Amino acid sequence: MQTDTVNRSPDMRSAESKNVGWFILPRRQSSDGNMTIVVQRFDKDGDFEEHAHDLEQFFYVTAGALEMTIGDDTRTYVEGDFVSVGRKVVHAGRNVHVGESEWVVIDYWPADSADRIGLD
C-alpha cells in the first residue's frame, strides 16, 4: 500500500483493517470545532467495522471501489460516487477493488452532538 501523500506520513493507520488516513482538516482546526476532512486509503481487502456515532458523514470516492452497508442497505460505490451517512446510523465498509481504493471523508458534528471524537 502506498503510505504517503503530499509528501507526508499518514496521520492514522490501522494495520488490521488495512487502511491509512491523512487529516486535511483536523477537527480542532475547524472554525467551530465541528468538521473534519480526511483522505482515507484502503489496501486490497481493507475494511472498517460496523459502528455508529453522533455526527453526519459524507464520503466521496476518489479511486477504486468501496462497498458500504448503511443501516440495512449494502451498495458498491466507485470513483466519482458520493454517499452520506446520517447521525447514529450503523455503517461498515470494505474495499472491493482489485487494488487500493481511496475516498475523502467529511465529518460534520451538529451543534447538539455530544460526540468528542477528535477533541479529546
Instruction: Extract the C-alpha cell encoding 80.
Output: 466519482
Say whether pLDDT at 65 is over 60: yes
Sign of CA dihedral 9, 3, 19, 14: negative
Is residue 2 very low, low, confident or very high in pLDDT (cuts 50, 70, 90)? Answer: low
Say whether pLDDT at 14 is over 80: yes
pLDDT digits (tens, 9 = 90+) for 21-59: 999 988 888 888 899 999 999 999 999 999 999 999 999
Check: CB of residue 110 under 8 Å from CB of residue 33: no
Give the mean model confidence (pLDDT) for residues 11-15: 88
Residue in 87, 36, 91, 40 with CA at minimum distance from that of residue 67: 91
- Strands, E, within 18-64: which ranges? 19-25, 35-42, 47-51, 56-63
Share of the chain above pLDDT 90, in %: 70
Residue in 117, 106, 116, 109 with CA at minimum distance from that of residue 24: 106
Give the mean model confidence (pLDDT) for residues 98-107: 96
Domains of the chain in start order, with CATH, are 17-108 (2.60.120.10)
